[in-house]
Amino acid sequence: MATWRNTVFWGLLLLMAGICSPVCVEVPSGTEAVQGHNMTLLCISCMQREEVFAITNVEWYFQPSDGNRSLIFEYAEGKPREHSSPFKGRLQWIGSKDLQDVSLILHNVKITDSGRFICNVNRTLHFEAHQHSTSSNVEIDLIVSEIAREDFTSVLSEIMMYILLAFLTVWLLIEVVYCYRKISKAEEVTQESVTDYLAIPSENKENCPGPEEEQ
């Protein structure tokens, strides 16, 4: 399924980024979900000054295609909290400790969940002499389908993989046949040399010049 593959891909990318370096990487969220499955609403908001103490508040909104947006989830004062909405009981906070990743998991996705999710991140940076507030928004236009739709890119990747495997198989067979013929030819030459040597009369073999002795 395209959604599952995208989630795994971005999850591995974030894991590799976290292992290889402490740099925060902002990556887009997936936008396609399947009814009855879980969907990760990815929201990455990197801090530019990690050494500065900051208070972070997060607000998640939902806006249907034919309605106004409403607050469905927030993280404030160090605690996540769901608000009364059609998503209540189906939202799971998976934000990181440094609050650069403030993502949610939407469980048991429904067709009516299609719409725009807005992730609003507000930070207050505390410097020695003053405070500075920043705000960032991530918008996710989610499309929910009854069955998984095969992604064209994934299909093309699989086709290319099979073509590459077929090419490598043919190339390996050609190499095997070439090596076999080369070895067989070398054996034939050796056998002919042995046969020619055995055909020489014994007296001629005795007259065959041997290796010269060093003086």
Arithmetic mean of pLDDT, 74-81: 94
pLDDT over 80 (residue 213): no
More confident residue, 143 or 182: 143
More confident residue, 73 or 13: 73
pLDDT in tens, 6-16: 544 445 444 44
Arithmetic mean of pLDDT, 172-194: 81
Predicted pLDDT at 58? 97
Predicted pLDDT at 183? 86
Amino acid at 208: C
pTM over 0.75: no
pLDDT over 60 (residue 174): yes
Arithmetic mean of pLDDT, 134-142: 94
